[in-house]
Structure 1
């Protein structure tokens, strides 16, 4: 049975678990517009209309974790995008906790800008942030899809799943770790007041930092060296000897 971890319960998170749904994120977005107040998790055993970045269809049969989190007034508007880093770190923490509990060694767990979890160089989870307003109140919905039992055969990035990597966990088992990790990292972030610490933690696990990658952003595609993350969360790259800041886009291996 899917349930919150102890830290999440103590911090006042709520949970809804359903067998089947169109999309956990779309449902929470509508709930928020109807007046629902977070923090509320929605977890589904399967999705019939799951979405990834840029509206891509997210194949969502049973076996993986499909979850979304509604937060109400999580931070001033200029800090909301930082939630990508907060939630990515929570995913990292949860994977490390599961691996430690099972004494699984030899995994390289990294975070790819802006919001992917990579294990041994392959994508195993992704995040999607969406936001809106209800009256004068701001809300954010964070969708989190985790490849526990299987992964898509065709995707924009090489993919894998926990089972293939020797991590045997169910959606219910992993979600307890994840919900606690999210509660802890949100507390650390302190509504954007402590992003410097979040940023430093994220950079210590960053994927391909210091290497040349392909950048797809703002209708451009170019090769650049990843150099860091600025205080707002933008990706710092070196493009032909000139520093650029990427605020939205994707990065790909050459």
Structure 2
């Protein structure tokens, strides 16, 4: 990837995966119908995003959600964001995720963005076209199903715009849109275990890390590489090394 001229875009697209990678060394089996891609981008270290490189995973997941919900008529399809890098149906079920690998050479980040989300495959969880069909039934609409190719193209285009906005305006340029779609607004969680202290999710900081606050205490930062967010149990759990 270091030999690719920076002005040339490069993306690898898979129709099916048998050894997809997730966080923590997880292996994913990705069936036909999912949108599966790895995108190469470069970010200058001295830029707004270069100084806050963990934010890139939030921009990618936001780009996927916005690629659907910015389509005329599709704005109410209930795709949402789970910190730090998951794409969800409401706050109920995961249908996609993002994995970032970055290498700093000199003053440039070379970033490989792995992204996969279910478009027309109802298994193993749920897919975007399932959500569209349900919307058509409940709202008496006739929205057409979407294709993986279309949404990969749209998400890359949206990502480019989000990166440009971030580089110009910093986190505040993208956070209003991010918060519009994320699942954590006003939510309370337990820390460490089911009987752990109760904390309120405040937002994310300028580096993209989660901000939580126990009652009567200061706001603290939770880093994605050291913690796991268990949505089913509403827990933030330190990862076991």
Q: Same fold (TM over 0.5)?
A: yes
Counterparts of 2:192 and 2:85, CA distance in 1: 15
Give the superposition deviation at 1:211: 0.9
Runs of at least 5 residues in structure 1 that lack an aligned partner in the other structure: 1-30, 154-158
How far apart, in 1, do the equivalents of 2:179 and 2:171 lie? 12
- After TM superposition, list the pairs within 5 Å mapping 1:220-239 onto structure 2: 223-239=198-214
Is the 1:216–1:250 contact (alpha carbons within 8 Å) kept by the matching residues of 2?
A: no
Q: 1:104 to 1:92 in 2, by over 3 A?
A: closer
Instruction: Quote the residue 1:208 is aligned against.
Output: 184
Change (3 A) 1:232 1:143: same
2:229 is aligned to 251
Q: Are residues 1:87 and 2:64 paired?
A: no
1:106-137: CA deviation from partner (whole Å, max 9, x where unpaired): 53332111111222222222111111144664
Q: What residue number does 1:14 align with?
A: none
Pairs aligned (count): 210
Aligned to 1:174: 151
- Quote the Cα distance in structure 2 between the aligned partners of 1:73 and 1:212: 35
TM-score (norm 2): 0.76
8 Å contact kept, 1:215–1:250: no
Q: CA RMSD in A?
A: 2.6
Distance 1:211 1:130 in 2: 30
Q: Alignment partner for residue 127 of structure 2, among 148, 155, 161?
A: 161
Per the alignment, residue 19 of structure 2 pairs with: 49
Measured against aligned partners, the alpha-carbon deviations of 1:81-111 in whole angstroms (never above 9, x if no partner) come to: 111222122112101135x3xx357533321
Residue number in structure 1 paired with 2:28: 58
SS in structure 2 at match of 1:166? helix
SS in structure 2 at match of 1:140: strand
The answer for unaligned runs of 5 or more in structure 2 is 134-144, 234-241
Q: Take 1:105 and 1:200, find their aligned partners in 2: how far apart are those partners?
A: 16
Classify the secondary structure of the residue corresponding to 1:139. strand
